[in-house]
Amino acid sequence: MAEGAALRAVRGCLAAFPREARELGWTESIPYLDRPPSPLEFYRDWVSPNKPCIIRNAISHWPALKKWTSAYLREVVGSKVVSVAVTPNGYADAVFQDRFVMPEERQMPFMDFLDIVEKKVTSPNVFYVQKQCSNLTEEFPELVCDVQPDIPWMSEALGKTPDAVNFWLGESAAVTSLHKDHYENLYCVISGEKHFLLHPPSDRPFIPYELYQPATYHVSDDGSFEIVDEKSADKVPWIPLDPLNPNLEQYPLYAQAKALQCTVKAGEMLYLPSLWFHHVQQSHGCIAVNYWYDMEYDLKYSYYQLLDCLTKAMEVS
């Protein structure tokens, strides 16, 4: 077969693959479970087939659901200095002006942050407690006893404890741009609601990635900001596309991708499987805790790597 014909054949396979994968397993919406599953059920029905679901009644016993009011948080952690992501536009870790721009990581007393979220103090900037890297245990140890250090049935299903337990509290303008990672993610909403837009890993051929110079916002209280390049850092591969308003002229293949959307309400838990692309928004002041369990680097991971490599090779051919 001539090289051109071979390339066309591979491109055709990549274009057909997402639909074929979808027909094998994805539903139009995310299914609900009414109770926490047994470890075996969860591994067999959700982790192994890499399917998302929303689980109800899995965290109803957590004291956090009743206790984490603004008054309680102010009393217990109000005077503590914590890391807050500050951006001019709500997008931390996202493509802006041809850079991969990270937030300013501001150290501030938690109650000053709450004053901004509750609009007792106005700011032109957007604030989000979203440090990850186990910020619940590292920065808010006073709150850990109101949730659980891990999700027992998940730890048993995977034979390990989470790599990170994260605390999220932010403004409605704070958006997490479309990305994927290598965690089995159990995302628990304590108050408010989170809005997820998801793509299965099999949609990779339709999702653009480009390489960007990393940079960081330096924002001022008057709303002015600078974007400062992290000159010695390597370029970062990131998705430039906004799935809520995709530029289909620039990224026509995305028209063939099929997003699943769901809202996770207070008291519910989303299982967001490893390698799924996710874009996240929230109601104002929403509080969430999530558990990142490292994925198994098995054949599923290798197949995804192959899909990724073939997609990149087609982009440059």
Instruction: Please report how close the Cβ of residue 14 comes to ligand AKG at its closest, in angstroms.
Output: 26
Q: Is the dihedral of CA 131, 132, 136, 139 positive or negative?
A: negative
Instruction: Please report how close the Cβ of residue 85 comes to ligand AKG at its closest, in angstroms.
Output: 10
Instruction: Please report how close the Cβ of residue 1 comes to ligand AKG at its closest, in angstroms.
Output: 41
Instruction: Please report how close the Cβ of residue 122 comes to ligand AKG at its closest, in angstroms.
Output: 23
Which residue intervals of 118-221 are DSSP H helices? Answer: 135-139, 152-158
| Residue with the shortest CB distance to ligand AKG | 176
Q: Return d(Cα 62, Cα 144) in angstroms, integer.
A: 10
Question: Which residue, 253 or 286, is less far from ligand AKG as judged by CB?
Answer: 286
The angle, 0 to 180 degrees and rounded to 10, between the axes of the packed helices 70-77 and 110-117 is 160
Question: Which residue, 136 or 280, is less far from ligand AKG as judged by CB?
Answer: 280
Question: Which residue, 204 or 278, is less far from ligand AKG as judged by CB?
Answer: 278
Q: For strands 225-229 and 277-282, give the pairing.
A: unpaired
Please name which of 46, 68, 224 lies closest in space to residue 136, comparing C-alpha atoms: 68
Residues that bind ligand AKG (CB under 6 A): 130, 168, 176, 181, 185, 278, 280, 290
Question: Which residue, 14 or 175, is less far from ligand AKG as judged by CB?
Answer: 175
Q: What is the helix, strand, coil percentage profile of the chain, to 5? A: 30, 30, 35
Find tokens 């491109």 and name the residue.
Answer: 11
Q: Give the type of residue at 244.
A: L
Question: Which residue, 215 or 286, is less far from ligand AKG as judged by CB?
Answer: 286
Instruction: Please report how close the Cβ of residue 40 comes to ligand AKG at its closest, in angstroms.
Output: 25
Instruction: Please report how close the Cβ of residue 266 comes to ligand AKG at its closest, in angstroms.
Output: 14
Question: Which residue, 185 or 191, is less far from ligand AKG as judged by CB?
Answer: 185
Please name which of 254, 240, 237 lies closest in space to residue 308, comparing C-alpha atoms: 237
